[in-house]
C-alpha cells in the first residue's frame, strides 16, 4: 500500500494488524475494531456455501476480518436467520463427537471459529435495505469507525481486501469504499462512483449513484461489498429518504455524507466472486476448489473428464 499511495509511511502512521497483535497508531482511530455483517436479507441463504469451498467452519467474511485485525463483529439478522447465530456458537455435541473419534484436525477447525473474534447480534425488524441494516447497529458500533462486509462478495486477495482498505483509511482519514471496474453492460446492477484518481487505485469520490441506467453511469467503477465507515454515516442515513422500493440505500446515505466530508474509493487487488447468484456461486466453488491442495488435482482431472456440452433446455 505504501507504493499505491506513492510514499513510504512510518509504522506509527499505518494500522498493520495481524492476528493477536496490533500496532500502536497513536492518535488515529482504528477502523478495524468493529465490523458489521448484514445478514437479514433473503439472499443470505447462500452465505454459508462459500465456507464449504474453503473447508472452513467460519464464514469468509469473518476470516477476512480476523486477518485484517478486527476484534468485534456485529451480525445483523432478521426473521428466520437464527441458524446464523448458532453457526458461530460453540457446538459441544459436535466437538465431543470429533474428540471421541480422534479427528483432532477437524476439532481444531471447529474450535477456531469460537476463538476468532467477539460476536454480537442485532435484529433488523424488516429488510429495509443495506442503509437501514447499518443504521440499526448504531448503539453497538458507538462513536468510532467501523467496517461493513457483505457476505455475498467473496474476495480472494493478499493482503485481504479489508486490509487494503484500512491502509487507505489510515492515509486519507476518511470513509473508504471498495470498488471494482465492471463491464459497462453491468453498471445498472451496482452503485457507481465518479471520482478522481489521487494515487494508483485510490479515488477521491465526487459523486455516486445507485444502479444507474447504462447511458447515465458516470463511470464503470462499481461499489462492491466492503466499506470502512465513520460514525457520521448514522445521522446521514437517518436523514436519507427511502427509495421507491421503501428501502434506505447505503449509497444514498453516503452521497449525503459526501457533501460534508471526502470519501474515497479503493480498487481492490484480488479476485471477487458474487455468490449471491447461482452462476457466481458455482464459479466460486470451482475457483476455490482448484486452490485447495488436498482436492485440486483430482477435481481438475474430473473437470477435464466431463462432457462440457451445455444441456438443452427442457421442453414443456
- Render each residue's pLDDT in the chain as its tens digit; 316 residues: 444 543 322 222 222 232 232 333 333 456 656 666 665 433 322 222 222 222 233 367 777 887 888 878 888 887 766 666 666 665 666 677 777 888 777 777 666 656 667 778 888 888 899 999 999 999 988 888 999 998 889 999 999 999 999 999 999 999 999 999 999 999 999 999 999 999 999 999 999 999 999 999 999 999 999 999 999 999 999 999 998 889 999 999 999 999 999 999 999 999 999 988 899 999 999 999 999 999 999 999 999 999 877 777 666 5
Which pLDDT does position 10 carry in this prediction? 25
Nearest alpha carbon to residue 60 among 133, 168, 202, 155 = 155
Q: Give the CA dihedral 208, 209, 215, 220, nearest 10 degrees.
A: 50
12-15 long-range CB contacts below 8 Å, 24 or more apart?
Answer: 13/170, 13/171, 14/167, 14/170, 14/171, 15/69, 15/166, 15/167, 15/169, 15/170
Q: DSSP string covering 225-289, please? A: EEEEE-TTHHHHHHTPPP-TTS---HHHHHHHHTTTS--EEEE--SEEEETTSHHHHHHHHHHHH
154 Cβ contact list (under 8 Å, min separation 6): 50, 60, 272, 273, 275, 284
Query: What are the φ/ψ torsions at residue 186 (nearest 5 degrees)?
Result: -105, 0
Beta bridge partners of 147: 35, 228
Beta strand 176-181 pairing with 221-229:
antiparallel
Which pLDDT does position 124 carry in this prediction? 86
Which pLDDT does position 316 carry in this prediction? 58
| CA atoms of 284 and 1, how far apart (whole Å) | 26
Which pLDDT does position 298 carry in this prediction? 96
| CA atoms of 186 and 207, how far apart (whole Å) | 19
| CA atoms of 220 and 214, how far apart (whole Å) | 9
The SS3 of residue 218 is coil
Which pLDDT does position 18 carry in this prediction? 25
Which pLDDT does position 22 carry in this prediction? 30
Domain 30-292 architecture: Alpha-Beta Complex (3.90)
Strands (E), 45-201: 72-77, 118-123, 146-149, 153-156, 176-181, 191-199
Cβ neighbours, 10 Å, residue 304: 8
DSSP for residue 214:
G
Alpha carbons within 13 A on the beta-carbon side of 199:
15
Using left for φ > 0, alpha for ψ between -120 and 50, and beta otherwise, residue 308 falls in alpha
Which pLDDT does position 194 carry in this prediction? 96
Cell for 274? 458474487
Which pLDDT does position 28 carry in this prediction? 47
Amino acid at each position: 500500500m505504501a507504493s499505491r499511495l506513492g510514499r513510504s509511511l512510518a509504522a506509527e502512521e499505518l494500522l498493520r494488524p495481524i492476528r493477536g497483535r496490533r500496532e500502536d497508531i497513536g492518535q488515529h482511530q482504528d477502523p478495524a475494531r468493529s465490523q458489521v455483517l448484514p445478514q437479514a436479507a433473503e439472499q443470505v441463504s447462500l452465505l454459508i456455501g462459500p465456507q464449504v469451498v474453503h473447508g472452513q467452519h467460519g464464514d469468509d467474511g469473518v476470516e477476512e476480518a480476523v486477518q485484517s485485525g478486527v476484534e468485534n463483529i456485529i451480525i445483523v439478522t432478521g426473521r428466520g436467520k437464527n441458524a446464523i447465530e448458532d453457526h458461530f456458537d460453540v457446538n459441544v455435541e459436535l466437538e465431543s463427537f470429533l474428540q471421541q473419534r480422534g479427528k483432532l484436525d477437524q476439532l481444531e477447525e471447529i474450535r477456531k471459529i469460537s476463538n476468532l473474534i467477539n460476536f454480537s447480534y442485532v435484529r433488523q425488524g424488516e429488510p429495509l435495505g443495506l442503509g437501514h441494516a447499518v443504521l440499526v447497529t448504531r448503539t453497538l458500533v458507538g462513536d468510532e469507525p467501523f467496517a461493513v462486509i457483505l457476505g455475498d462478495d467473496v474476495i480472494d486477495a493478499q493482503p485481504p481486501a479489508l486490509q487494503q482498505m484500512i491502509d487507505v483509511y489510515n492515509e486519507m482519514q476518511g470513509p473508504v469504499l471498495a470498488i471494482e471496474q465492471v463491464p459497462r453492460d453491468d453498471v445498472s446492477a451496482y452503485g457507481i462512483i465518479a471520482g478522481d484518481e489521487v494515487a494508483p487505485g485510490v479515488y477521491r469520490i465526487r459523486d455516486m449513484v445507485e444502479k444507474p441506467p447504462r447511458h447515465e453511469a458516470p463511470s464503470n467503477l462499481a461499489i462492491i461489498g466492503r466499506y470502512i465507515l465513520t460514525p457520521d454515516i448514522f445521522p446521514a442515513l437517518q436523514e436519507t429518504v427511502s427509495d421507491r422500493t421503501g428501502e434506505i440505500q447505503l449509497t444514498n446515505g453516503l452521497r449525503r455524507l459526501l457533501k460534508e466530508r471526502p470519501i474515497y474509493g479503493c480498487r481492490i487487488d484480488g479476485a471477487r466472486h458474487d455468490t449471491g447468484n447461482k452462476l457466481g456461486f458455482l464459479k466460486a466453488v470451482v475457483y476455490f476448489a482448484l486452490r485447495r491442495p488436498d482436492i485440486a488435482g483430482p477435481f481438475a482431472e474430473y473437470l477435464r473428464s466431463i462432457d462440457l456440452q451445455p444441456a438443452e433446455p427442457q421442453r414443456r
